[in-house]
């Protein structure tokens, strides 16, 4: 069972915004390297175990970034990114529950440090929407975070797309309009993957 569908989400949210002023150079550099690993794994051949092992490098880099500066939200976000993809690839089982809890703790810490960072809002919001309630999921809270991300950064492609999907999941009448907005923004930004996802969402709404 794939819980998080994080590969597409994180590919759209790991682009760097303005640098965090309080983060030191070592933390910033290590977090950036960790996020690079999180992105590169999507371009690897389809060998699940090799990808999971490769992400271990990103986990180590994220941990190093946090060790350099525990108050750098991007360091915690970078560690979350790699852990989330490992969990997504491994699927839900008792073996990964510890990793799942750790992943949740990292995105919660990132949010605590940077509660208005759209990348963090989108990732935390989508995670809350995807997780079952017994594992800490909260669909309504997750949707509110997606709305906030769009409010803060209206041209954030991933925020627009995942908000449209959340509304579609709820059967909200405005889902189609939001999906068209996401598609237009993805085209403007040249975001090929997001264009395809928005078109797929629209097709499902038109069925």
- What is the DSSP-derived secondary structure letter of residue 134? G
Contact present, 103 and 55 (Cβ < 8 Å): no
Q: Regarding predicted confidence, which is higher, 77 or 13?
A: 77
How far is residue 154's CA from residue 185's CA, in Å, rounded to a whole number? 9
pLDDT of residue 165: 95
CA angle 160-164-165, nearest 5°?
A: 120
How far is residue 201's CA from residue 195's CA, in Å, rounded to a whole number? 10
Residue 18 pLDDT greater than 70, yes or no: no
Burial code (b: 16+ CB inside 10 Å, e: under 16) for 72-89 equals bbbbbbbbbbbbbbbbbb
How far is residue 45's CA from residue 52's CA, in Å, rounded to a whole number? 12
Instruction: Tell me the domain boundaries of the chain.
Output: 6-116
Confidence of residue 92 (pLDDT cuts 50, 70, 90): low
Most confident region among 42-46, 90-94, 96-100, 161-165 by mean pLDDT:
161-165
> 61-75 pLDDT, tens per residue?
999 999 999 999 999
> 178-189 pLDDT, tens per residue?
999 999 999 999
The mean per-residue pLDDT over the stretch 36-61 comes to: 92
How are the residues of the chain apportioned to helix, strand and coil, as percentages rounded to the nearest 5? 75, 0, 25
Q: Regarding predicted confidence, which is higher, 162 or 8?
A: 162
Distances (CA, A) of 168 to 91, 119, 181, 190: 24, 21, 14, 24
pLDDT of residue 19: 46
Residue 154 pLDDT greater than 90, yes or no: yes
The mean per-residue pLDDT over the stretch 31-45 comes to: 92
Confidence of residue 22 (pLDDT cuts 50, 70, 90): low
Residue 8 pLDDT greater than 60, yes or no: no
- What is the DSSP-derived secondary structure letter of residue 188? H
């Amino acid at each position: 069972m794939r819980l998080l569908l994080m590969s597409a989400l994180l590919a759209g949210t790991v682009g760097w915004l303005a640098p965090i002023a309080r983060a030191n150079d070592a933390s910033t550099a290590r977090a950036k390297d960790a996020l690079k690993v999180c992105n590169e794994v999507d371009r690897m051949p389809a060998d699940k175990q090799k990808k999971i092992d490769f992400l271990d490098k990103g986990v180590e880099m994220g941990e190093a970034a946090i060790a350099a500066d525990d108050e750098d939200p991007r360091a915690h976000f970078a560690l979350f990114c790699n852990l989330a993809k490992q969990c997504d690839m491994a699927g839900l089982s008792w073996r990964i529950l510890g990793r799942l809890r750790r992943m949740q703790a990292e995105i919660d810490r990132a949010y605590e440090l940077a509660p208005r960072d759209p990348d963090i809002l989108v990732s935390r919001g989508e995670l809350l929407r995807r997780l079952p309630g017994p594992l800490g999921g909260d669909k309504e809270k997750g949707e509110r975070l997606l709305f906030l991300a769009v409010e803060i950064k209206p041209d954030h492609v991933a925020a627009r797309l995942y908000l449209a999907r959340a509304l579609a999941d709820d059967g909200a009448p405005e889902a189609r309009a939001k999906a068209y907005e996401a598609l237009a923004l993805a085209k403007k930004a040249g975001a090929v993957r997001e264009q395809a996802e928005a078109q797929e969402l629209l097709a499902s709404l038109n069925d």
